């Protein structure tokens, strides 16, 4: 579900620990034990690149830090922490993507890479997230 707030596009996103989901598939963990969070007010940010989560959600999901990398921000270049891949689900579409940490005062951000992986675009006139019109709104990937 997307809502309009001060010109921003917000969406509901479910984020799940991929390692936990693997353990569920192997029968070593029950589905209700898999760590997941649902964020009702994730910001769809075409100026961002990754799925970005604040530390409190990273901790809830039990993610491990993979690396630090330089990231260019409005405040200049900073070192950012990247974490384990998660399964991101929006409007029934899902993808697997690494997580970039943002400060706790920054909302969950859905950037360009997850939008591409999920085949969504922002409808600026309606200020909502829609299936890519080039694919008739259907979930599709180009393989060329």
- For the stretch 33-91, pLDDT in tens is 999 999 999 999 998 999 999 999 999 999 999 999 998 888 889 899 999 999 999 99
| Topology, domain 2-135 | Cathepsin D, subunit A; domain 1 (2.40.70)
Helix, strand, coil percent content, the chain, rounded in steps of 5: 20, 50, 35
What is the rounded average pLDDT for all residues in the chain? 92
Q: Where are the domains of the chain?
A: 2-135
How much is the pTM?
0.89
Nearest alpha-carbon partner for 4 in 125, 127, 121: 127
- Whole-angstrom distance, CA of residue 59 vs CA of residue 43: 20
Sign of CA dihedral 134, 135, 141, 143: negative
More confident residue, 142 or 11: 11
- Confidence band for 2, pLDDT divided at 50, 70 and 90: low
Alpha-carbon torsion, ordered 95, 101, 39, 112, to 10 deg: -50
Structure confidence at residue 7 (pLDDT): 66
Q: Alpha helices, DSSP H only, in the chain?
A: 18-25, 55-61, 112-118
């Amino acid at each position: 579900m997307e809502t309009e707030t001060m010109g921003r596009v917000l969406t509901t996103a479910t984020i799940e620990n991929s390692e936990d989901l693997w353990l569920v598939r192997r029968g070593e963990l029950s589905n209700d034990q898999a760590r997941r969070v649902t964020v009702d007010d994730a910001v769809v940010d075409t100026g961002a690149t990754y799925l970005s989560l604040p530390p409190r959600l990273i901790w809830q999901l039990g993610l491990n830090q993979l690396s630090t990398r330089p990231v260019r921000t409005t405040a200049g270049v900073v070192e950012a922490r990247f974490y384990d891949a998660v399964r991101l689900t929006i409007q029934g579409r899902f993808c697997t993507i690494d997580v970039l940490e943002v400060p706790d005062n920054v909302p969950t951000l859905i950037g360009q890479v997850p939008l591409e992986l999920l085949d969504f675009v922002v409808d600026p006139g309606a200020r909502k997230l829609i299936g890519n019109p080039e694919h008739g709104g259907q979930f599709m990937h180009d393989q060329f």
